[in-house]
Amino acid sequence: MAARIIDGAAVAKKLRQKMAEQIAAQRLTPGLAVVLVGENPASQVYVRNKGRAAEEIGMKSWTHTLAAETTQAQLLDLIAKLNRDPAVHGILVQLPLPKQIDAQAVIAAIDPAKDVDGFHPINAGKLSLGLPAFVPCTPQGCMILIREAESNLSGLKALVLGRSNIVGKPVAQLLLQADCTVTIAHSRTKDLAEECRAADILVAAIGKPDFVKGGWIKPGAIVIDVGINRIDDPANPGKTRLIGDVDFAGASVKAGAITPVPGGVGPMTIACLLKNTLQAASGDMGHA
Ligand code: GUN
């Protein structure tokens, strides 16, 4: 049977509408500062979308675009200014950063109370302890979409494919808090297909187009595709298109529910960034 398609764009839209109502009703002016260093085209698109989405729901947003040659000291100076600015409730430094800049040093310089990405060691540590913290946006979005498909996750086997600090590790923490039995698989995992076949929930976050095959999916599983891979479009020579880490055609005939790319996890990442920014402006650190 064909899987239910989990419509991340629709879920994200509802979330944004709810936040817009809250901002208007409470007369809040949440402020989000987004910092982009260099000219990575994908990052430019993400940053533009984040700023636009913030303004659409009544937030203030500032985009700080810095040259690719920016030094670490210059970037740390800007962070210090944003930390001090009372109009700025959330600070996001778009990753990746140019190689002369130590991303961990930059993340650690952000005030943890303004760390709407949830990447600061304090927030990452709190998340792993089950304490209130800013939860990274993509993992938070994945959990909302998983719960759209199944509200009771207790005892389910979850496989996270990918061990990044941005997605793999935090989403594994959240699945564990939801009482799943969690496995983190990665490029060195032996017999990945077998690991996938045992999973009731599969979160693919490895950045390899069409990597997860339909035959790897347990019948009825919930499949969350975090991949955003731009490939040449065989149907339109000279054009590109976005595909996920999961072979959607193959997986969607086995899975119980699956997220599409685009229109799945992507819009949820932005909605959850706004959610964290609203929490920061309300003085609420959120709950892990
Ligand atoms: N680059 C890719 N994903 C993210 C994200 O969620 N936050 C930031 N800051 N950079 C990213």
pLDDT of residue 288: 40
How high is the pLDDT of residue 287? 46
Task: Give the chain's radius of gyration (CA, Å).
Answer: 19
State the Cα–Cα distance between residues 173 and 186, nearest whole angstrom.
16
Task: Look at residue 283 in the predicted model and tell me its pLDDT.
Answer: 85
Measure 95 CA to ligand 1 centroid, in angstroms: 5
Q: How many Å apart are CA 148 and CA 169, to the nearest integer?
A: 22
Backbone angles phi, psi at 147, to 5 degrees: -70, -20
* C-beta separation of 106 from 78 below 8 A: no
> Which of 94, 115, 165, 268 best tests ligand 1's pocket when mutated (most atoms within 8 Å of CB)?
94
Q: By alpha-carbon position, which residue is closest to atom 9 of ligand 1?
A: 94
pLDDT value of residue 149: 98
- Which amino acid, 34? V
Looking only at the bridges linking them, the beta strands covering 31-37 and 60-66 are parallel
- The stretch 62-80 carries a mean pLDDT of 98
Q: At what angle do helices 168-177 and 121-129 cross, to 10 degrees?
A: 30
Residue 101: predicted pLDDT: 98
User: Has residue 30 got a pLDDT over 80?
Assistant: yes
pLDDT at residue 55 above 70?
yes
Share of the chain above pLDDT 70, in %: 99
Mean pLDDT calculated for residue range 143-171: 98
Tens digits of residue pLDDT in 236-276:
999 999 999 999 999 999 999 999 999 999 999 999 999 99
| Residue 187 CB neighbours (<10 A) | 10
Question: CA–CA separation, 32 vs 280, rounded Å?
Answer: 10
The position carrying tokens 């402020």 is 31
State how far the Cα of 237 lies from the Cα of 243, in Å rounded to an integer: 16
The residue whose CA is least distant from atom 1 of ligand 1 is 95
Tokens coding 103:
């991303």
pLDDT surpassing 80 at residue 285: no
CATH number for the region 135-266 comes to: 3.40.50.720
Mean per-residue pLDDT for 178-184?
98
Compute the distance between CA of residue 203 and CA of residue 214 in angstroms, rounded to an integer: 14
What sign for the dihedral angle of Cα 259, 160, 132, 134?
negative
Q: How far apart are CA 252 and CA 260, in angstroms?
A: 9
Burial group, residue 24, by CB count within 10 angstroms (0-12, 13-18, 19+)? exposed
Report the alpha-carbon distance of residue 119 to residue 265 in Å, rounded. Answer: 18
- Which CATH superfamily hosts domain 27-111? Leucine Dehydrogenase, chain A, domain 1 (3.40.50.10860)
Residue 284's pLDDT band (cuts 50, 70, 90):
confident
Enumerate residues lining ligand 1, CB below 6 A.
92-95, 117, 137-138, 166, 269
22, 278 contact by CB (below 8 A): yes
Q: What is the pTM of this model?
A: 0.97
Question: Any residues with CB less than 8 A from the CB of 284 and at least 6 apart, and which?
Answer: none
Can you point out the beta strands (E) in the chain? 4-5, 31-37, 60-66, 90-93, 157-161, 181-185, 201-204, 222-225, 229-232, 240-243, 257-258
Q: So where are the chain's domains?
A: 27-111, 135-266
Q: Confirm whether 27-111 and 135-266 share one CATH topology.
A: yes
For 123-141, give one letter per residue: b (16+ CB within 10 A) or e: bbebbbeeeebbbbbbbbb
Distance, CA 96 to ligand 1 centroid (Å)? 8
- Average confidence (pLDDT) over 48-74: 98
Task: Give the nearest ligand 1 atom to 95 CA.
Answer: 10
